[in-house]
Structure 1
Amino acid sequence: MITYAIGDIHGHIDLLRRAHDRIAADRARHGTGDAPVIHLGDLVDRGPDCRGVVQFLIDGMAAGQPWQVLKGNHDRMFTGFLSDMHHHDEGLRGELSWLHPRLGGAATLASYGVRHPADRPLAPVHADAVAAVPQAHIDFIDSRPTWLQRGEVVYVHAGIRPGVPMPEQRETDLVWIRAGFLDDPRDHGFLVVHGHTALDHATHYGNRVNIDSSAAYGGPLTAIVLEGREAFVLTDQGRVPLTP
């Protein structure tokens, strides 16, 4: 069972296009046909063209590309703000908000033409955002699944709550979890492929693979291919094995 996966995008449309170029080259080399590409969420925030990323994915899926897109915590905060300007995601620290500079919400709004929220009252910022963001983008993000399983691999944005069957997992854990998952070495019965926690490079921990290689902070956007539980990072020169 062959599956491609792409880590946290964060508005970097150029990096996303290049990741898909590497996948196309791998398809040509290895004859992987229409194996699906799973995007692990965090489409928006921090990067320069969040709107472009969302539209690229909508257009590709509408054209019949074998793509899946999961929901990340930043995606959930984005549409949560649009639904309620006082929305506070339950996974976010109490003193922060989606528009705090650390979260990168202002970059997302800027990509939709909304003037920077700094030193502006919240109400007009929210009104401008509601007017600017197409309903199709909101519906697309809100309807994203939070996890997928193919064979012996589960794909999810942040991780899982160990010991909890997948159908019983809480969405907040799936898009936010770190403690209790990252430090748990047990075999979950499947390999978990995730992002959310930024690293310098994709890393295989034996029971999980983290492919968030810090595109949000100037790093690369990682694309991998899995054959069963075997993982390979895609580079311009071809596949590089990713092992524990």
Structure 2
Amino acid sequence: MRTYAIGDIHGHLDLLHIAHARIKADRAACGDADAPIVHLGDLVDRGPDSRGVLAHLRQGIDAGENWVVLKGNHDRMFALFLDDPAAQDDGLRTVYSYLHPAIGGAATLASYGVANPADRPVAQVHIDGVAAVPAPDRAFLRSRPTWYRRGEVVYVHAGIRPGIAMEEQAETDLVWIRAPFLEFTDDHGFLVVHGHTALDAAVHYGNRVNIDSSAAYGGPLTAIVVEGRQTWILTDAGRVPLTPEAPENAAP
């Protein structure tokens, strides 16, 4: 049971094309053109072309690609801002807003042609954003699933709350959680593949695999292939094993 996964994209359409090309090459080598590709969320913010990322993913799904696109906290914040600029995401500290430089929402709005989103009154930026972002993009963001299970693996943006059945997990945990998920070392009953917590390179911790390799901050975008619970990073030269015993092999 082969599944591909791609970490946090954050508006980097160029890196997404590279990840898809590596997956295409691996599919060809395996003779498996239908294995699903799971995108772990955080499609938008910080990078230069969030609009292009959403368009590419929507068009691929519409064309019949076997792509699963999950919701990340940044995707939820973007949709929430468009609905109500005064609303505060449950997982976001009150010292931040969607247009705070640390969040990167201004870059997303700029990709839709909104002028100077970081330097004008929020109310006007919101009006322009609503006018600029197509309804299909907003619907796509709102309708993203928060997790996906295939075989022995659960794919999710941020992680899960240990000890809670997947069907009972809260969305805010699935898109925002760090502690206690990151500190939990026991087996969950399945392998968890996630992003959200940025690292220099993907790491396999035994019970979970974090593939957010900091594309938002100038790092690469990691794509992996999972077979059973075995994982490999995809590179231009092919597969590189990613194991708990050898985390140094985690460089994309």
TM-score (norm 1): 0.99
The within-5 A match list for 1:25-174 is: 25-174=25-174
> CA separation in 2, counterparts of 1:33 and 1:121?
48
| CA distance in 1: counterparts of 2:41 and 2:185, whole angstroms | 24
- Rounded to whole Å, the distance in 1 between the matches of 2:78 and 2:168 is 25
Paired with 1:201 and 1:153, the residues of 2 have a C-alpha distance of 20
Q: Is the 8 A contact 2:40 2:157 kept in 1?
A: yes
5 Å-filtered alignment, 1:177-216, equals 177-216=177-216
Once the two structures are superposed, residues 97-127 of structure 1 have per-residue CA deviations (whole angstroms, 9 ceiling, x without a partner) of 1110000000000000001223311111100
Q: Is the 8 A contact 2:110 2:117 kept in 1?
A: no
User: Which residue of 1 is the match for residue 228 of structure 2?
Assistant: 228
Alpha-carbon contact 2:47-2:216 (below 8 Å) kept: yes
What do residues 195-218 of structure 1 show as CA deviations (whole Å, max 9, x unaligned)? 000000010000000000000000
Letter in 2 for 1:201: A
Given residue 165 of structure 1, which amino acid in structure 2 is its aligned partner?
A: A
Q: Distance in 2 between matches of 1:241 and 1:135?
A: 41
Q: Show the counterpart of 2:2.
A: 2
SS of the aligned residue for 2:231 comes to strand
Name the CA distance, whole Å, in 1 between partners of 2:119 and 2:60.
37
Cα separation, 1, equivalents of 2:218 and 2:98: 21
Deviation of 1:33 after TM superposition, in Å, equals 2.3
User: Please, which runs of 5 or more residues in structure 2 have no aligned partner?
Assistant: 245-252
**Per-residue displacement from partner, 1:147-168 (whole Å, max 9, x unpaired)?**
0000110000000000000000
Q: Aligned residues, how many?
A: 244
For 2:249, the equivalent position in structure 1 comes to none
> How far is 1:181 from its partner?
0.3
What amino acid is the match of 1:182? L
The runs of at least 4 consecutive aligned structure 1 residues that moved more than 4 Å come to: none
- Corresponding residue SS for 1:225: strand
| Letter of the structure 1 residue corresponding to residue 119 of structure 2 | D
Aligned-partner SS, 1:15:
helix
SS in 2 for 1:155: strand
- AA aligned to 1:155 is Y
Question: Share of identical aligned residues, percent?
Answer: 72
SS in 1 for 2:224: strand
Which secondary structure state, in structure 1, belongs to the residue aligned with residue 3 of structure 2? strand
